[in-house]
Structure 1
């Protein structure tokens, strides 16, 4: 019985020696665990590119924004993930306020606009999606309507019944459009603008991405929403132009944070470095996510302007949250009820 015991001890010592050598070499022995609130398909494209370029293995768990924050908070005493990847930046601000994340300034941080990173390093943007107008040029030509260049242009009677946009009552995208016009025009003038636009709206959709679907099917020649759906149609060969209105547009910012207590901190930092680098941002385009890179030196693809050539309209997230019910009610009463 003694021989098997000796052999077992020798094997154990061999494994221990190998493990010590592996650890001393700086190679991670466990995968980077990422809670992602980016849609699963695009998250896989992005994180596979990260693994391919860095060799860091990733275990990905998809969780939408609310459930992700709840789970991270529930696990605060025994963190099960290293990184929260995706979800609008205001969620990462909240995670920092709840002491769930830790600061790190990635190598590419200096190339990001101030609006796309926290000043103290607790979160950094990974992509942005500006509001845009998608146009089926073939359908507009049939109707003899011009190509719009601005939000103001959309009031033209030539577009009567030709526009689809999300309803602010059910869609955050629709509400972002209301906030955008409020920032550009002031609140009362924004409501007047939306009243003037209303006769041109064919449908207020329940979903924020439904207008691009209708555009692709030819059910509408003009649509308003965040840009990825339009960029995808254009890339797939549809006769679609993507218009970023001259007055500017609101935008959503997806961000990432390193979680407090991350057990794989070095690889979490590598992900932050990579996704904010030019190479990492170019992967968004290569993988055809249709997200707009947050670096001005990286293009979202052929025919898409660089970030620094698009006028972005920001608004205070706290105001947006506190005034949502009031502004949506006002839109329903004064625009729909006119």
Structure 2
């Protein structure tokens, strides 16, 4: 168990107020453990609210919340894609709470009735090794259309839709931008420029870091991290637009510590809470337009975000992945 997570639990059990044990806010977190600890530590420092955090990935978290619905053991589900929180609401596992800061979020980053609020977003992006492209005399891409340039033959890495949700987000994005048939025609044209389709959604940024590839496609945090660490990497959000993932939070039905649960939602949706994402170097993009992700990183207002229907995405996943395998790999 992470040292900070242990310390949170110990602090919660030992803290006294007027001789009565202070009840900690219990959070099931599906944000990765390191970043969860950093964000929730900043929350405790800002508000004084003690947190008992349990790290659970999205699927196990939802299963546990559902199993405990008659005797809830947590107050807040923190993290996991917003569609998971929509599902939790549909199953009667969460309760509405409209944050005082909700008006600072775009509609796609909150539920109108307060059943979930976004924590951060990760848009798709290109990671570009400027040094390698300069050596080859090749231009840097600025759009999806640019990627079919023959100068990039065998130079691009992206995940495979057969194994990666990130790559499936690419398919859905292109479908929204171009229409389905045109999107698959584009991916057929792109295929000769693909060096490899990786199994992992984050593997392309690793290849970019060691110079194995000069152009990589995935969600943006890995590229932002490389740029911050001094690698000659540009992070490109293509002009036609990009799909994105949204990590959200919900207050659970039967929450024992409802007041502090609301405090967490309010803090996380405030400019202070969103700035904490940046200060902690999570490399997640803030969901407030008045908080900048860092030097050289555009705000969300400057990125063309492409939304797609989560229900459609779920119902058509196998069909679209099978079509990708047939039309792109099998061409």
Q: Which protein shows a greater Rg?
A: 1
Q: State the superposition RMSD in angstroms.
A: 1.1
2: distance between equivalents of 1:251 and 1:48? Answer: 26
Q: Which residue does the alignment assign to 1:236?
A: 229
| Structure 2 residue 250 is the aligned partner of structure 1 residue 257 | yes
Unpaired stretches in structure 1, ≥5 consecutive residues: 1-18
1: distance between equivalents of 2:19 and 2:325? Answer: 63
2: distance between equivalents of 1:104 and 1:271? Answer: 11
Tell me by how many angstroms 1:154 deviates: 0.5
Unpaired stretches in structure 2, ≥5 consecutive residues: 1-15
Tell me by how many angstroms 1:21 deviates: 4.9
Equivalences for residues 45-194 of structure 1 within 5 A: 45-194=38-187
| Structure 2 residue 35 is the aligned partner of structure 1 residue 42 | yes
Tell me by how many angstroms 1:142 deviates: 1.2
Tell me by how many angstroms 1:195 deviates: 0.4
Q: TM-score, normalised by structure 2?
A: 0.94
Tell me by how many angstroms 1:52 deviates: 0.6
1: distance between equivalents of 2:150 and 2:137? Answer: 12
1: distance between equivalents of 2:48 and 2:25? Answer: 11
SS of the residue 1:224 aligns to = strand
2: distance between equivalents of 1:34 and 1:228? Answer: 24
Tell me by how many angstroms 1:108 deviates: 1.1
Moved over 3 A (4+): 19-23
Q: Which residue does the alignment assign to 1:316?
A: 309
Q: Which residue does the alignment assign to 1:8?
A: none
| Structure 2 residue 326 is the aligned partner of structure 1 residue 333 | yes
Deviations 1:2-43 (A, max 9, x none): xxxxxxxxxxxxxxxxx89577xxxx8111110000000000
| Structure 2 residue 191 is the aligned partner of structure 1 residue 198 | yes
- The count of residues paired between Structure 1 and Structure 2 equals 316
Deviations 1:60-109 (A, max 9, x none): 10000000000000000110000000000000000001111011011211
